[in-house]
């Protein structure tokens, strides 16, 4: 019992000793609550989720294919950014051939 009272006294001393932290200026606190006018966003060239998923797939087989749609969508966006045709987007050559065959008929 004497030990617990000693611990309680030491805790009380730690809490009451020293200067109390100033609560600060009310204007300063209000200023901190205002959201910033501009937001900084960084666009990455590679998606770390896709890279990790592909790396894990080289090591082991997934039990479920929960990341398939995400990886496919990221691959399409990457191809679109590079100017390559995506599987859902026909190639420019196919469109040219179709227009040539229409003019011949």
- Which residues are CB-contacts of 65 (< 8 A; sequence separation ≥ 6)? none
Q: Which helix (H) or strand (E) holds 2?
A: helix 2-16
CA dihedral 49, 55, 87, 78 (to 10 degrees): 50
- Give the predicted TM-score (pTM) of the model: 0.37
What are the backbone angles phi and psi of residue 26, rounded to the nearest 5°?
Answer: -65, -40
Model confidence pLDDT, tens digit, residues 29-40? 888 888 878 878
Model confidence pLDDT, tens digit, residues 68-85? 888 888 888 877 777 766
Q: d(Cα 44, Cα 81) in Å, to the nearest integer? A: 12
Chunked into runs of 10 residues, the chain (105 residues) has average pLDDT values of 88 78 73 81 85 89 84 84 60 46 48
């Amino acid at each position: 019992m004497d030990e617990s009272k000693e611990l309680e006294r030491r805790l009380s001393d730690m809490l009451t000793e020293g200067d109390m932290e100033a609560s600060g200026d009310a204007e300063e606190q209000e200023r901190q609550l205002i959201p910033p006018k501009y937001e900084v966003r960084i666009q990455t060239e590679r998606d770390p989720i896709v890279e990790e998923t592909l790396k894990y797939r080289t090591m082991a087989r997934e039990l479920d294919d929960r990341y398939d749609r995400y990886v496919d969508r990221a691959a399409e966006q990457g191809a679109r950014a590079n100017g390559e045709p995506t599987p859902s987007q026909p190639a420019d050559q196919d469109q040219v051939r179709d227009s040539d065959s229409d003019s011949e008929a």
